[in-house]
Structures are given as C-alpha cells and as structure tokens.
Amino acid sequence: MAKRFTFLTLISLFLSLAVSAQIARNGFEGDATDTWNYTAEPSNYNLPADDDIWDDTTAVSVMDPLAGNQFWFMRDLNNPNGGGNFFHTLTFETVDISATNAGLVSFGWNSFEYEAGDSIGYIIAFDDGTDWDMANYVDLDRNTGSWQLVQVPIPPGTQFVRLRLMAKQNGNDDYAGFDEVQIEEGLPPATIEFDTDITQVDEDAGTVSIQLNITNAGLFESSVKVNVSAFSSAINGTDYDFTDAVYTFEASTGNPVQVEIPILDDDLMDAGRYLVLTLSDFDNADVGAKLQHIILINDNDIKGPAPLTDSFVKMRHLGSFPGSPDGGSAEISAYDPASRRLFITNITNNTLDILDLKNPVAATYIASIDMSIFGGGINSVAVKNGVVACAVEAAVKTDNGSVVFFNAADGTFLSSVTVGALPDMVIFTPDGTKVLTANEGEPNDDYTVDPLGSVSIIDLTPGVANLADTDVTTLAFDVFDGEMADLLAAGVRIFGPNATVGSDLEPEYICVSPDGKTALVTLQENNAVAVVDIENLTITAINPLGTKDHSLIANTLDASNTAPGIFMANWPVKGYYLPDAIECFEVGGVTYAITANEGDTRDYGGFSEEERVGGVTLDSAAFPNAAILQNNALLGRLLITSTAGDTDGDGDFDEIYNIGGRSFSIWNTATGQLVWDSGDQLERITAEDPTWGPYFNSSNGTNTNFKNRSD
C-alpha cells in the first residue's frame, strides 16, 4: 500500500539539517549545491511501468524529498537490466577534511516494507582507502515510515572521510530513499578549564573541591590531566594530599568535574603556603582560558601577640572633635599644657586650627590661623614653653620655606625665619633652646629642579619675638657629595635623575636625644638615618638601614590587594624600611630610636621608581618560578622599586625590593644596629582583631576598602 508522509515531519528534519555549515553535500538536486560526488552501482535506472527505480528523482507517489526538490529513490530493484536482490551502492568520494572543522557525517533515510533478506545501511571509513569492509556495515531500520536522520561523529584528528550508502530489496513492493548526504562542521571544539582562578582555605578546611568545566562537550569523551606545579610552596604530605591525575568528561553532557584535594592540618608554625594546579594532556578538547588554579592555604598555628592583661600603657577614649567649622583635615597636633590648647595642622585649608582642651571630653573650637600669608602650606607643628612653631613650605615647594612662631596662649604672631626647601617636620630640643626642621627638598614634578635636602637649627636664645634669619643654621647634605660612591656601596639609596648626595637625600622626621646634643633624621626615600651634632652644628654621619628579609617566618606579609582574603606568606623579597617618623628614648643609659617604617616612593611626572612584580622581567635563574610568582593573587601586585635588583646589569631583576617594612623598629643610636623589629605583628594583630579586621590594610577615608593597600 502506498504511503505519504506528513509535511511537518519533513520540515522538522530539514531544519535539523540546516543548522550546521556543510563541508561537502549532495541533495541529489543536480546543481552546484551537490558538491560531494558519488558513483552509483549499478548505474541509475528508472522504470516506472515496472515499479523499479534506482535513481535521483522528484517526489513520487509514496515519498517526498527530505529537502529540496529531488532525492535518491529506490523501489523493488528487480529490473531486467541488472537489478536483483544484491546490494546497490552509492559510493561517495573521499574528502580530505584536515583543514576543516568537520564534526559529523549525516544523511537522511526513509524505508518502507523491507522484508527478510532486505537491507538498508551504510559504511563509513575514516581513511583514503578503496576497500569497503562489510564488518563495518551498519544496518538501519527497514521500515521507518518517515524520514530519519543518521549522524555519525567524526573522531578528532581524522584526515579523510568516505561513505557508502547501500540497499538491497527483493522486489515485493518495497521502497526507500536517501537524501541530504553531507559532511557537517562540528560544534566549536570542546574546551576545558578551571571554573575559577583561586581558592583560599584555612589548613583545617578538610577536603577542598576544585571544579573543572567543559564547554561545547563533544560526542566523544574528553579528558585532561591536573598537575601540581613544582613551584608550589605547599608540600605534599604536609600541607595537602594529592598527586597528578587524569579527569574524564562524559560525552555530550557538559557536566563539570570536581577535583577533590584533602588539605592537611599540621601543628607546625608555618607561613601561609600556596598550591598551584595546572592542566595538561588535553584529549578531545582544546585549552580553555583558566589553565591554572591557585589554592592559598592559610596557616592556623601562628597568631598575633595576645594583648597584655596588665599593660603599662592604658588608653581610654574621652572624646572626639569633628574638626574646623570650615572642614579640611587634621594631620599633626601639638598640645600646650599651660594654655591647655591643642594646635592642629589643617593641610587642606592651609590653616593652624586651635582647640580648647580644658574639658577633653568636649573639646571646643577656638580659631584658625590662615597660614597662606606665610607660604604654600603648613606641614608640621610643635609646642614648647608656650611657643608654637609651624613648618611652612614656600608657594613654590622647591624654594626655601619658613618656620613661623606664635604665642600659644592667644595665637598672636611672634616671628618667622627662613629655613631649607620644604620643611616637613619641626621639633624643639628638650631644653627648649633650639628648634630643628627636616627640610625634605623634594623635586618638582618634572624633576628639573631638585633642591638640597637639609636640616635647619634655629637658636631661640635671642628670644622668639626677636628671631632673624641670622639665628638659623641650615645644614645641607651636599657636604657628602664626594662620598657618594661609599654611601651607595654601604646601602644608602641615591637614585634620582642626575642625583648628587645633597640633592637626593630627603629629610623626613627628626628626633632629639634626651640630652639635647644629638638629632637623628630619617631620610625616608633613601632608607637611611642622618646623625646631627646639634652643639657643633654639623651632620656627622649617614647610616643606611639595610633591608628586611621577607622569606623569614617572622616577616610574612599579605602581598596582594586582589587575592580574596588575607594571606600571610613568605616571599623572596627584601623590604626597604623607609621610615617616616622617628622618636628617641633612653633605657638604662642607652639611647634608642624607634622608627615607623611607612615606606614611600618617588613617583613624579619626570621620574618614577614604581613597578609591580607582575610588570617586570624576573631573571630566569634567580626566579625559575617567575610565572607563578607574578600571578596577581601571589606577588604580581606587590609594589617594588625599579632602582634596585638588577645586580648584573642585564636589564632583568635578580632581586626584588619592596617599599616599606610594614613594621616599627628599634635601633641603637650609638651603633646604628637594629635591636628589634615588629616583623609581621602589625598585620597579624589587625587581621585578627574583631573590630579592626575589616579595615585590614585599608586606605584612610570614609569608605572601607578591605586590604586595598596590601600591595
């Protein structure tokens, strides 16, 4: 009985065929779209009177084409010119697909009333041979009643494809068709990658699960090998338990795969360690974007120092003051016990703000003194014996600045004297007979003017109201210009463009010994401290401070502002102390200095020393693990200086020097030796504090930006 098939079925199959681009095709249309040539054996014939057909034809009474206007139709195959119950074949030529993205061989077939002994099927060979092995013959459904689609995936790496369509019929009113024979482009190649770049866990986390993703999963299984990088700092058997392993993705599903890694909780006093996983040996998949995953393992054994139960320093908050009614900022403050007034540098407004602290629980605003009439900006303030001394830079900061004196009791002006360029800090000697200023002498932005750094000593014995410039002795560092080579060799940083000792040294802060005879002056950018003989008005020494070894367990640091959490680890980095503030004190007849190792760089339009580890070339011999270290989650974001580290002059970095010690240090002033350093305790104390932990390594301001200063 003749049977026709619904139009809906034909349309659905046609659409399914049309979604993929064709590399080779034959729809039996007899036009330019038929690019995959074939040979019919026996040759085509069409005997409608005998109901025997082996030919490409248009729609017939029992079947329409799958697509287009024509298809290959066969009926009975029992004609007198060579038909019979043997395989008739359509052999499609060999196609070289090596330069294509071929993924499927497909064709449609439709069969009706095939009986025992009949067969319809195909052989596909992925080579350029000529034999057709019947062992590879695929027998298809002999009575579909509608068009069906065959899709055969092409194995990855295949170069050649050939196809033979086959049918045999016994001549008893059975028929079939082939149509839309083609080699299709496959899906985009599967890619495998890590789901994320980084995971951070404590060492007591147990097993951590790292997800692998596959995109465009193919019709074959895909696999990848997960490796532990030899440059991981974590140790197998101590910090984790995992060896390289192959992970397989199911065909077609696209389901992710989990890599389970046990994290081991030891009781060793270790720094944080990192485990680096990489991907290799991709099988039936291409390389994705995330080929590396870093597991940061926080040690839980080292803690910051516990607070003292009976501390000799006890502090209690009494009150706060919101600042001048005109707004601005408050940086340096100095208290006069006689008038019970607090004097504050308001750098934003260039004013000296005065508060009444007779009731410290409720400080009240008295007045602000406009400092713009004295120069470009107020930088520091000190009070002694009812006298207020203010350090004021010039309107052009490379010009000489001044120290301006006021009466603490009523704020009246007393006198003003000239000091060196950019006075950044002012201090009285313990006996109140002298005032010293640290004149920083910073360059202008394009670094065409770089004034001498200096220390000014003001003799107050004529009376503060009577002071003149002749009472000021300014000690410049150009007296050391001839010793530049020795200072560099000793470790003093002298590195500005066309630098001399005098122009490059930048005094930042001063402390005076209890006997008033000696001053120590931090040279922050130079990582040194100068010694000043106050009595004899001379600079006697420039002492380098050396560096801090961050590979030591006591000197860990959180080095990234992009890693997800705090990660206190050791690194192959040397830190310049670069202190800002300094204070002198005496214990047991020995004078010590304590420094706040803030760190600061030169970053001007005409010159900048700032680099990041991730942006420089590390020497491959010194840092075989450079690619790992330079990851932003590890050391890549750390701010370093470009002026040191290239020990052999070949343009790369053999050593890494970062900015600031992230600590405070105690030094013996007589020997210049480091007595004690707080190591990583400031970071650890802050990190563990329930109140201040959220502000860990944050910039000052109204918005909390967790660890944005860790770099």
Please tell me the distance from the alpha carbon of residue 367 to that of residue 349, in angstroms, as a whole number: 13
pLDDT at 83: 59
The residue range of the domain holding 90 is: 7-185
Residues 378, 391, single domain; the answer is yes
Please check whether residue 577 is in contact with residue 545, taking contact to mean a CB–CB distance below 8 angstroms.
yes
In whole angstroms, how far apart are CA 155 and each of 104, 105, 164, 219?
Answer: 9, 11, 18, 9
Question: Last residue of some domain: 544, 566, 600?
Answer: 544
Residues 206, 98, single domain; the answer is no
- Compute the mean pLDDT over every residue in the chain, rounded to the nearest whole number: 91
Residue 320, domain member (yes or no): no
Question: 10 Å Cβ neighbour count for 326?
Answer: 12
Residue 291: which CATH number?
2.60.40.2030
Residue 305, domain member (yes or no): no
| Side chain identity at residue 34, one-letter code | D
- What lies within 8 Å, CB to CB, of 623 at 6+ separation is 572, 629, 653
Residue 536, domain member (yes or no): yes
Residue 435: which CATH number?
2.140.10.20
Please check whether residue 666 is in contact with residue 582, taking contact to mean a CB–CB distance below 8 angstroms.
no
Residues 165, 257, single domain; the answer is no
Residues 366, 292, single domain; the answer is no
Compare 95 and 75 and report the one with higher pLDDT: 95
Please tell me the distance from the alpha carbon of residue 182 to that of residue 108, in angstroms, as a whole number: 10
Lowest mean pLDDT among 10-14, 163-167, 361-365: 10-14
Residue 263, domain member (yes or no): yes
Residue 70, domain member (yes or no): yes
Residues 126, 35, single domain; the answer is yes
Please tell me the distance from the alpha carbon of residue 236 to that of residue 232, in angstroms, as a whole number: 10
Compare 623 and 100 and report the one with higher pLDDT: 623
Query: What would the pLDDT profile of 499-557 be if each residue is shown by its tens digit?
Result: 999 999 999 999 999 999 999 999 999 999 999 999 999 999 999 999 999 999 999 99
Count up the domains in the chain and report the number.
4
Residues 553, 527, single domain; the answer is no
Residues 627, 672, single domain; the answer is yes
Please tell me the distance from the alpha carbon of residue 450 to that of residue 494, in angstroms, as a whole number: 13
Please tell me the distance from the alpha carbon of residue 480 to that of residue 477, in angstroms, as a whole number: 6
Query: What would the pLDDT profile of 311-324 be if each residue is shown by its tens digit?
Result: 778 888 888 887 77
Residues 161, 127, single domain; the answer is yes
Residue 99: which CATH number?
2.60.120.260
Closest CA to 139 of 150, 129, 147, 128: 150
Average pLDDT over residues 579-583: 97
Q: Please give the backbone phi and psi of residue 304, each rounded to the nearest 5 degrees, phi first.
A: -70, 160
Residues 361, 478, single domain; the answer is yes
Residue 292, domain member (yes or no): yes
Whether 154 shows a pLDDT value over 50: the answer reads yes
Residues 517, 665, single domain; the answer is no
Query: What would the pLDDT profile of 2-39 be if each residue is shown by its tens digit?
Result: 332 222 233 333 333 334 578 999 999 999 989 999 99
Residues 675, 629, single domain; the answer is yes
b vs e for 204-222, b when ≥16 Cβ sit within 10 Å of the residue's Cβ?
Answer: ebeebebebbbbebbbbeb
pLDDT at 653: 97
Residue 706, domain member (yes or no): no
Residues 521, 620, single domain; the answer is no
Residue 323, domain member (yes or no): no
Question: Last residue of some domain: 544, 574, 597?
Answer: 544
Query: What would the pLDDT profile of 619-671 be if each residue is shown by its tens digit?
Result: 999 999 999 999 999 999 999 999 999 999 999 999 999 999 999 999 999 99
Please check whether residue 299 is in contact with residue 203, taking contact to mean a CB–CB distance below 8 angstroms.
yes
Which strands make up the sheet holding 273-283, listed edge to edge? 198-202, 292-298, 273-283, 222-228, 245-249
Whether 701 shows a pLDDT value over 70: the answer reads no
Average pLDDT over residues 595-617: 96
